[in-house]
Copies of this chain bind each other. A is one copy, B any other.
């Protein structure tokens, strides 16, 4: 069993790049071999290999090996970490939700 210290810093850096977000979009459809991912971009295959590594280190992607191929798929951990961080500020844009929450705390509907 491999234990990874999932650094939130790495996760935020991972999603900051547009190419990596595009990769995330591709992997949301289905898992894909590294080459399959690379084929869909104009940049070189090694560049994509590095992006995949960064996504892996950010806890956003996990890789499964099958023969000479490495299949990449989305990992819940990383994206959830970002979601939790941002959800913490939800009240700033969802006033309605805020009042609902307050009402719930009071034990009556808002």
A residues lining the B interface (CB < 8 Å)? 9, 12-13, 15-16, 18, 21, 24, 28, 74-77, 79-80, 82-83, 85-87, 89-90, 92-93
Contact = CB atoms under 8 A, between A and B. Distances in A.
How many copies of this protein are present in the complex?
2
Given A24-B89, A79-B89, 6 more contacts: A12-B16, A76-B93, A80-B93, A82-B86, A83-B87, A83-B90
A18 B11 CA distance: 11
A9 B13 contact: no
Most chain B CB within a 10 A radius of its CB, from A15, A77, A80, A92: A92
A74 B86 contact: no
Closest 6 CB pairs of A and B: A76-B93, A16-B16, A80-B93, A83-B86, A12-B16, A74-B92
